[in-house]
Structure 1
Amino acid sequence: MNTKAKISQAWQTVQIARHPDRPQFLDYVSEIFTEFDVLHGDRLFGDDGALVGGLARFDGQPVVVIGQQKGRTTRERLQHNFGMCNPEGYRKSQRLFDIAERFNLPVLTFIDTMGAYPGVGAEERGQAEAIAKNLAILSGLKVPVIATVIGEGGSGGALAIGVADRVIMLSHSIYSVISPEGCASILWKTAEKAAQASAALSLTAPRLHALGIVESIIEEGEGAHLDPQTTMLRLKDELKKALDELTDMDADARCEARYQRLMKFGSANLENAS
């Protein structure tokens, strides 16, 4: 594939990942899980609508479910802060991680965010510390952890709930250290080069699978918004398969495998896969 075609394909994927009719976290919850009981607040500052989480049943098994919700109407988007979490959202997830560890419940996370909220208040309340603590906690959880990128996976805001034993991506989702517009603004001083940046960032599911960053890709045809039911059923099957494999592992062996998974990410591996 020539450079122009790669740029076009990557940018098209970005547009589909951001499609306004694309299924969001709570749509997946209603289809894949039952008895979803939402937990609110971080016991320090307040509740963050961008991150929704709680206890649920997956195929009859109790689990902890956490995800970023963007909202569709103007009212919903404001309520959920467009899916951009404040530190209280990540601290809410820390409460849920603690519950999962205490009661030996698998953790399933769903990523869909442009990134963590960059506002002054968020920084004052410890945004970076909250994200860093999430990374540390997820790295050491004894229970199985599965992360799924269902739309946008942007920067530390996504990674804060993305450290896992298995990472799954929908075929038209994206996962990157920065948004294409942000990357273009840094490299070329203009967001108009976002399409070119999207190709350079290697943010598509096939590319990240080739690099070993994600383990599985869920095929969604021309977009999950066109046939959400089929996509959700495929994801449910993949989640069940991954959870069965991880549950059969010894907890210490699972943690060691998670550590080794993270340690294999590096320049040598990326160079070999390029």
Structure 2
Amino acid sequence: MNTKAKISQAWQTVKIARHPERPQFLDYVSEIFTEFDALHGDRLFGDDGALVGGLARFYGQPVVVVGQHKGRNTRERLQHNFGMCNPEGYRKSQRLFDLAERFNLPVLTFIDTMGAYPGVGAEERGQAEAIAKNLAQLSSLKVPVIATVIGEGGSGGALAIGVADRVIMLSHSIYSVISPEGCASILWKTAEKAEQASEALALTADRLKKLGIVETVVDEGEGAHLHPIKVMHQLQEVLKDTLDELLEMDANARCEARYQRLMKFGSENLVNAS
């Protein structure tokens, strides 16, 4: 495949990941889980609609489910802040992770965000600290943790709920340290080079699997927006198999394996795989 074709393929994936009809977090919750009860607020400032989480059942197993929801129409998008979490959203997830650890409940997170909200108010309320605490907390949980990228996985806003024993991506989702437009603005001083940046970032599921950043890619055909129920059921089966595998492991061994998984990022083996 020539360079131009590769660039076009990466940029096409970006566009599909952002498709307005693509299934969102609450769509997956209603199809994959039962008895979902949402938890609200961070007990410090307020409730963040960008991050939704609570208790649910997955094949009868009680679990904690956390994810970012963007919303579809203007009213929903404003309610959910376009899926860009404030610090109170991440502190809400910390409450849920504490709950999971206390009652020995597996954690399943679903990533779909352009990134954490960059507003002044968010910074004043401790955005960076909230994200850092999430990273530390997820790194040390003794319960199984599975993260799934269902759309966009942008920067620290995605990573804050993405530290896990296993990371799954839908085949037309993206996962990157920065958006293609942001990267292009830095490298070429114009967002018009976003197509080239999308290739340079290696943000597609197949590239990230090759690099060892994600373990499993769920094939969604031409896009989850075309056959949403089929894709959701495919993901459901992958989640079940992955959770069954993790539940068989000793908690301390699982935690150590998660640590070793993180420590290999940036290693010579991963660099050579690129």
AA at the equivalent of 1:176: S
Segments of 4+ moved more than 3 angstroms: none
**Whole-angstrom distance in 2 between the partners of 1:268 and 1:76:** 44
User: Are positions 1:57 and 2:92 aligned together?
Assistant: no
Could you state the TM-score of these two structures normalised by the residue count of structure 2?
Answer: 0.99
Q: Distance in 2 between matches of 1:61 and 1:105?
A: 9
CA contact (8 A) 2:168 2:215 kept: yes
How do residues 210-221 of structure 1 correspond to structure 2 at under 5 angstroms? 210-221=210-221
User: What's the secondary structure of 2:199's corresponding residue?
Assistant: helix
Give the TM-score normalised by structure 1.
0.99
1:244 and 2:236 are equivalent in the alignment: no
Following superposition, the deviation at residue 202 of structure 1 comes to 0.1
Describe the superposition over 1:66-89 as per-residue Cα deviations: whole angstroms up to 9, x where unpaired.
000000000000000000000000
Whether the 8 Å CA contact 2:53–2:64 is kept in 1: the answer is yes
Q: Which runs of 5+ in 1 are unaligned?
A: none
1:20 equivalenced with 2:10 (yes/no): no
Task: Provide the secondary structure at the position in 2 that maps to 1:130.
Answer: helix
How many aligned positions are there? 274
1:1-274 mapped onto 2 (5 Å cutoff): 1-274=1-274
* Aligned-partner Cα distance in 2 for 1:3–1:141: 42
C-alpha separation between the residues in 1 aligned to 2:199 and 2:105?
38
Question: 2:175 is paired with a residue of what secondary structure?
Answer: strand
2:174 aligned partner, one-letter code: I
Q: Percent identity?
A: 87
When the two chains are superposed, the root-mean-square deviation of aligned CA atoms in Å is 0.5
2:151 aligns to what SS in structure 1? strand
**For 1:71-113, what per-residue CA distance to the aligned partner results, in whole angstroms no more than 9, with x for missing partners?**
0000000000000000000000000000000000000000000
Q: Please give the per-residue CA displacement for 1:194-251, whole angstroms capped at 9, x wherever unaligned.
A: 0000000000000000000000000000000000011000000000000000000000
1:271 maps to a residue whose letter is V
Helix, strand or coil for the counterpart of 1:47?
Answer: coil
Separation in 2, partners of 1:154, 1:79? 20
**Which structure 2 residue ranges, 5 or more long, are not aligned?**
none
Question: Contact 2:38 / 2:54 at 8 angstroms: preserved in 1?
Answer: yes
> What secondary structure sits across from 2:225 in the alignment?
coil
| 1:149 partner letter | V
Deviation at 1:272, TM superposition (A): 1.0
Distance in 1 of aligned mates of 2:270 and 2:178: 18
